[in-house]
Amino acid sequence: MGYFISAFLIAPFVRQQGQPFTSAPNREDMELLGTLAESGTIRPVVGRTLPFGETAAALAHVGTGHARGKVVVAL
């Protein structure tokens, strides 16, 4: 609940506007998503993979708002 309040308070000052979102995952949905991921029907879009030592650069890239896909930090 605190997230929603803080998001509401800072919304006028940030470029990206978040929308309140709540979910109640259930077993059937999670199993379906797992099956779809295993079959390759759905897969994440990875825009960039950086080594752990470049975590600051990864966060800076995401912070620009120009990241296409997920930015992965490899351990």
Per-residue pLDDT of the chain (75 residues; tens, 9 = 90+): 566 677 667 777 766 655 666 778 899 999 999 999 999 999 889 999 999 999 999 999 999 888 888 999 999
Query: 69: which 2 tokens?
Result: 């896909």
Query: Is the distance from CB of 58 to CB of 73 less than 8 angstroms?
Result: yes
Q: Domain extents for the chain?
A: 44-75
Distances (CA, A) of 65 to 17, 33, 60, 68: 12, 28, 9, 9
Residues linked to residue 49 through DSSP beta bridges, in sequence order: 72
Query: 57: which 2 tokens?
Result: 């650069």
State the pTM of this model: 0.50
